[in-house]
Chain A
Amino acid sequence: MRRMVVLFVAIALATAGLGCTRSAEPARTEQPVILTFVNTVPVPAIDPALVTDEAGYIAVVNLYDPLLFPAVEEGLMDPAPHLATEWTVSADGRVYRFTLREGVKFHSGRELTAEDVVFSMDRVLSLKKGPAWMWLPVLSPGSTRAVDPYTVEFHLKEPYAPFLATLIHLFVVDAELIRANLGAGDFGDLGDYGQGFLSANDAGSGPYVLEKWDREGDLVANRFADYWKGWRQGQVDRFVYRTVREEATVKMLIKGGEADLVGQWLSVETYNELAATPGLKVAEDPTVQLFHLPMNTAKPPLDCIYFRLALVHALDYTTANTEIFPGAVQARGPVPIKAAGHNSDLAPFRYDMAKAREYLAKSKYRPGEYVIQYHFTDVIPAQRKLGLLLQSSLAELGIKMEINPTPWVRLTELCAKPETTPHIGAFYYTLRYPHPHSHTFAMYHPSAHGSWIAMSWYNNPGVTRVLEEAVKEVDTERQMQLYKQAQAMIAGDAPSIYVNNPVHRIAHAEYVKGYRYVGLIGYDLAVYYLTVDKQ
């Protein structure tokens, strides 16, 4: 027993001693610029045909090049030339022809050509995962053709207004490298279509090359020396994406200098504390995210527009957007204010109890006839507080509302059928691509019914007609007019209580320069555009 105690003490002393000296760390001769980004969400996948969430997109944006890239340097989200330098659209809006940049190299050293673009699009459409939903309505494998090594054409089944905007999600993979690393699978000669290989390797041409990925831990990528855009002084040599789920630990890491940038999922209190810490900055921007309370228009009493309008006027927006969501901007209709195609003529909903009573009197339902069920995601306290705020106003109107915390998986399941969908839900919906189609057609066209995005089960044939006309309209100006018209019509029908566009916050060390909020998934952390100046 004495020997065991001695051994334990020896281990403890040796460990503490090493802690003091840190002698085990290898000495450096050169100091590469390292940027450590700490996020509470791990990277689930790095295959551009599989990613769906922000963490995955952050990896993909840095390892791969998309056909078009948002105009990040101008602080805009519009799709701008990138791998494609220019393009034309046929008069009928069905054929898109792109000219590719010459001399772009993959990390394998091979030149990127139109065949790679064809392979990348066909791969996404065949796997039917990740971003496939954006193109499946209008493209199928074989619809993308290489005209020559630097020209590629997409032949759409019908005109599709957001097509250009969606191409920021078409990340081009090295077709030859993938063909050389096929595993067994269901895709004939193409086996697993490279899913096994791309689950641990990159096959991109992006500014960073994957060094290692520990799944729940670190993703490390190094500068690609032959990147076609070239490199400037101060740009990041080595990018580390570190997953740390505990907020208190994240705070210690950035305050202690072990992280340079932390993600958007911390509490407001933590960001306030970090903003007050010397050497740190918190960037705050209104998001291109909509936070709203969709109402089930297929269920009484919310199938009555007057009842819905009464609810719309019963929410105290000022309190909601100052006390519950500090800094949030009140939404004006479904499309976020900063998003492309937003209808700025729309007036925000107003808190007006007199008006609410007026609408309630016009409704075919009496206030106490139904108990309204409000469901929110059980892990988001702000949504509970908002429910309480609405509940107190509704009580003044004689409407009883029950607040139901619901696990996310259950909430999404409930929204699959109109009869199980709650009266009111609380949801965030982020812009997927820089086009108003994302927050109109995807939320209010009947084809979207069954998903939580369309939980209001809204069905106005007039709006459906305008949306269907808009999606096929080739003339961009007219197209935007139609989308704005649809937004006005939708807001007038009040299928949702449009609460706000919340604030996006990110904390970083002051020496990290060039950060700009873009709002498109993953693109905020395009590390190529950041510099580190520790002088």
Chain B
Amino acid sequence: MFRDYLARRVLMMVPTLLGLSLLIFLLSRVMPGDPILLALGPEARPEQVEQLRREMGLDRPLHVQYLRYLQGVLRGDFGRSLRTHRPVAQDLRDFLPATVELTSVAMLFAILIGVPLGVTAAVRRDGMVDHLSRWVALSGVAMPQFWLAILLQLVFGYYLRQLPLIGRGSIVPARITGLYLVDSLVTGDLAAFWNSLRHLVLPAFTLSLATAAQIMRMTRAGMVGQMRRDYVLAARSYGLPYNLVVYRYMLKNAITSTLTIIGLTYGFLLGNCFVVETVFAWPGIAAYGAHAVIYKDFNAVVAVTLVVGVAYAIVNLAIDVLYGFLDPRVRYAPE
């Protein structure tokens, strides 16, 4: 049963991604401006324009371009970047791990901040922690990321000089996955691990705050809803310890809506953390994608969108699976 459920979810990803690829491919072709003229510069001669158009396959009909592109994507070939002059797949290989690492650590921060605060706020409703968490949530959502980023840089990087202002790290571990924390741990390079961690703290915290606020509010709301349920009353009347009831039973039931937020936000952050990547000079895929749009680097635009789309789909698949794991009604319900 669970295998069928999983297979259905995976199969549903295929038309979604195909539709996304077609949509973004067409959009990238109708964006204003000639990418070839932009890439070659204003003085380009007609023979230059013609050769590059041919090299990029833009001299072919649109449907042929799309089919060739799809064939390439299946082989892991996303075409060449007009801006970096090399295969987009290579660019993704360099930039994607940086964003995955940043987003993952930010999400970890958000969960570590949001869930405990949400639970505590629910358990001690209208108490000090509840008011404080409400204030933190409001600030986290309201504060513009670029402002918070610069503020943190000023305090911890410029005045206190406790954490690095920019970059991913001055000690680069031997590449295995491209995730510095993972690679440094696998290779036992502790200096690189601490160096990477220190570089991650400010950008990851900046990125995490708004998500932490959402997680906190969702957890609180879910927990408050559970408090009035009969099973809680029964568990308490049997004399089970309060913390056991809260964390073992109530949280498991309350966390599903929070999981939705985590899944959606993780996918969203992958493609939208360009403000944080820009301020902290973090060499990630979001900033790469944003600049690809500005320069009309169409192969890069399509590739970044597809990769983010795939990541989004995978994360949401994982969340769906987790739903099924946490709540048997989901995996057994007839569709």
User: Is B253 positioned at the interface, with any CB of A under 8 Å from its CB?
Assistant: no
Report how many residues on chain A are interfacial, defined by Cβ distance under 8 Å: 62
Which of A4, A129, A249 is the most central at the interface, judged by chain B CB atoms within 10 Å of its CB? A249
Convert B50-75 into 0s and 1s, putting 1 for each residue whose CB lies closer than 8 angstroms to a CB of A: 01100100000000000000000000
Question: Are A20 and B162 interface neighbours, CB within 8 A?
Answer: yes
User: Is A45 positioned at the interface, with any CB of B under 8 Å from its CB?
Assistant: yes
Residue ID in chain A nearest B168 by CB atoms: A217
Give the secondary structure class of B's interface: helix
Which of A14, A196, A217 touches B281 (beta carbons < 8 Å)? Answer: A217
User: Is B165 positioned at the interface, with any CB of A under 8 Å from its CB?
Assistant: yes
Residue ID in chain A nearest B200 by CB atoms: A15
CA distance A210 to B115 in the complex (A): 47
Question: Are A249 and B279 interface neighbours, CB within 8 A?
Answer: yes
CA distance A251 to B40 in the complex (A): 32
CA distance A496 to B248 in the complex (A): 75
| CB interface residues, B 50-105, toward A, < 8 Å | 51-52, 55, 83-86, 91, 94-95
Whether A136 touches B48, Cβ cut-off 8 Å, given contacts A19-B198, A410-B33, is yes
User: Is A364 positioned at the interface, with any CB of B under 8 Å from its CB?
Assistant: no
User: Is A361 positioned at the interface, with any CB of B under 8 Å from its CB?
Assistant: no
User: Is A508 positioned at the interface, with any CB of B under 8 Å from its CB?
Assistant: no
CA distance A128 to B198 in the complex (A): 45
User: Is A30 positioned at the interface, with any CB of B under 8 Å from its CB?
Assistant: no
CA distance A255 to B94 in the complex (A): 30
Question: Are B167 and A217 interface neighbours, CB within 8 A?
Answer: yes
Question: Are A128 and B48 interface neighbours, CB within 8 A?
Answer: yes
Residue ID in chain A nearest B31 by CB atoms: A409
Chain B positions within 8 Å of A412 at CB level: 33-34, 37-38, 42
Question: Are A244 and B45 interface neighbours, CB within 8 A?
Answer: no
Which of A258, A407, A453 touches B42 (beta carbons < 8 Å)? Answer: A453
Residue ID in chain A nearest B95 by CB atoms: A216
Convert A367-393 into 0s and 1s, putting 1 for each residue whose CB lies closer than 8 angstroms to a CB of B: 000000000000000000000000000
CA distance A136 to B247 in the complex (A): 73
Question: Are B165 and A258 interface neighbours, CB within 8 A?
Answer: yes
B251 smallest CB distance to A (angstroms): 8
Residue ID in chain B nearest A214 by CB atoms: B283
Question: Are B85 and A19 interface neighbours, CB within 8 A?
Answer: no
Residue ID in chain B nearest A43 by CB atoms: B84
Which of A7, A136, A432 touches B47 (beta carbons < 8 Å)? Answer: A136
Whether A249 touches B94, Cβ cut-off 8 Å, given contacts A15-B198, A186-B55, A413-B33, is no
A290 smallest CB distance to B (angstroms): 13
Whether A50 touches B85, Cβ cut-off 8 Å, given contacts A410-B32, A442-B43, is yes
Question: Are B116 and A5 interface neighbours, CB within 8 A?
Answer: yes
| CB interface residues, A 386-423, toward B, < 8 Å | 407-410, 412-413, 416
Question: Are B85 and A44 interface neighbours, CB within 8 A?
Answer: yes
Which of A14, A215, A246 touches B91 (beta carbons < 8 Å)? Answer: A215
**Of B126-134, B151-159, B228-236, B322-330, the one touching chain A:** B151-159
Residue ID in chain A nearest B195 by CB atoms: A24
Which of B116, B158, B168, B279 touches A256 (beta carbons < 8 Å)? Answer: B158
Question: Are A249 and B281 interface neighbours, CB within 8 A?
Answer: yes
Residue ID in chain A nearest B109 by CB atoms: A8
Question: Are A432 and B197 interface neighbours, CB within 8 A?
Answer: no
Convert A456-489 into 0s and 1s, putting 1 for each residue whose CB lies closer than 8 angstroms to a CB of B: 0000000000000000000000000000000000
B111 smallest CB distance to A (angstroms): 8
B273 smallest CB distance to A (angstroms): 14
User: Is A245 positioned at the interface, with any CB of B under 8 Å from its CB?
Assistant: yes
Chain B positions within 8 Å of A408 at CB level: 33
Whether A133 touches B45, Cβ cut-off 8 Å, given contacts A18-B198, A409-B31, is yes
Which of A14, A45, A409 touches B85 (beta carbons < 8 Å)? Answer: A45
Residue ID in chain A nearest B160 by CB atoms: A19
Convert A48-80 into 0s and 1s, putting 1 for each residue whose CB lies closer than 8 angstroms to a CB of B: 001010000000000000000000000000000
B97 smallest CB distance to A (angstroms): 12
Question: Are A199 and B86 interface neighbours, CB within 8 A?
Answer: yes
Whether A24 touches B91, Cβ cut-off 8 Å, given contacts A4-B112, A409-B32, is no
Chain A positions within 8 Å of B48 at CB level: 128-129, 132-133, 136
Question: Are B287 and A245 interface neighbours, CB within 8 A?
Answer: yes
Q: 23 A-B contacts, Cβ less than 8 Å apart? A: A8-B112, A14-B194, A15-B194, A26-B191, A44-B84, A129-B40, A129-B52, A133-B45, A133-B48, A136-B45, A186-B55, A200-B86, A217-B281, A245-B281, A246-B281, A248-B279, A249-B165, A253-B166, A258-B165, A407-B32, A407-B33, A409-B32, A416-B37
Given contacts A19-B162, A24-B191, A137-B45, 7 further A-B contacts (CB under 8 A): A44-B83, A215-B84, A216-B283, A217-B281, A252-B153, A252-B154, A410-B32
Nearest 8 Cβ contacts at the A-B interface: A409-B33, A19-B162, A216-B283, A410-B32, A217-B283, A244-B281, A199-B86, A128-B48
A: residues with CB less than 8 A from B are 1, 4-5, 7-8, 11, 14-16, 18-20, 24-26, 44-45, 47, 50, 52, 128-129, 132-134, 136-137, 186, 195-196, 199-200, 214-218, 242-246, 248-249, 252-253, 255-256, 258, 407-410, 412-413, 416, 432, 442, 448, 451-453
